[in-house]
């Protein structure tokens, strides 16, 4: 009950719509962010303004940019066991969480991740990239690259190099919704 009240106050104060009680109030959540029921976000994560996370997602020690669209049941940054050690069991580690989440997991701005995808620890996904549904992303994804599969492989890029540079230089994702919309309109389709 206390968690629900705290969540309501957090939503009112930050202009967010967080419907899940599994989101840590110590996570950095940007304004206008929407998080659906059953989604877990730990206190070591940050989610940029105007991003959306679908139902039943899991986000651990990850940095998610602004204006991201993340489908249902996406897992971002699960712990990775060190297979070079004699044992992979966390019973023999001093600080299992730090050890399992050592490598950064970074999602850029305006990234779309399809439902039921898995983004492994240590992966960086560039601005404007798209991850197809049911993909397992094991390597970095370049800005505006479209990947899919298990393991995810590059399918295409969304824009040619000149157009991608123009969009990157605009940095529209750093603006509030109204200013971002104006810049996007100026960039055209």
Query: Which residues are known catalytic residues?
Result: 81
* Cα gap 85→120, rounded to integer Å: 19
**H or E element: which one contains 114?**
none
**Residue 165 and residue 143: Cα distance in Å, rounded?**
10
DSSP state of 151: T
Taking the C-alpha atoms of residue 31 and residue 136, their distance in angstroms, rounded to an integer, is 29
Look-up of token digits 């699960």: 78
> Is the bond leading into 151 cis (omega within 30 degrees of zero)?
yes
Asked if 147 and 125 touch (Cβ cutoff 8 Å), the reply is no
DSSP annotation string for 63-103:
EE-TT-EE-TT-EES-----TTSS---GGG-SSHHHHHT-S
Distance CA 118, CA 136 (A): 5
Residues 75 and 183 sit within 8 Å (Cβ to Cβ)? no
């Amino acid at each position: 009950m206390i968690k629900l009240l705290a969540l309501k106050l957090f939503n009112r104060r930050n202009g967010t719509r967080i419907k899940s009680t599994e989101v840590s109030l110590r996570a950095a959540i940007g304004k206008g962010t929407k998080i659906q029921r059953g989604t877990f976000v730990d206190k070591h994560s940050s989610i940029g303004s105007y991003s959306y996370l679908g139902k039943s997602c899991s986000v651990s020690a990850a940095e998610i940019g602004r204006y991201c669209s993340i489908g249902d049941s996406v897992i971002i940054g699960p712990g990775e066991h060190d297979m070079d050690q004699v044992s992979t069991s966390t019973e023999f580690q001093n600080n299992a969480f730090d050890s399992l989440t050592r490598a950064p997991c970074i999602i850029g701005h305006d990234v779309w991740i399809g439902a039921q995808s898995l983004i492994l620890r240590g992966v960086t996904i560039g601005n404007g990239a798209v991850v197809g549904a049911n993909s397992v992303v094991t390597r970095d994804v370049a800005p505006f690259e479209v990947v899919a599969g298990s393991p995810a492989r590059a399918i295409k890029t969304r824009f040619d190099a000149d157009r991608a540079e123009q969009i990157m230089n605009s940095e529209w994702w750093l603006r509030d919704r109204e200013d971002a919309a104006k810049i996007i309109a100026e960039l055209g389709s």
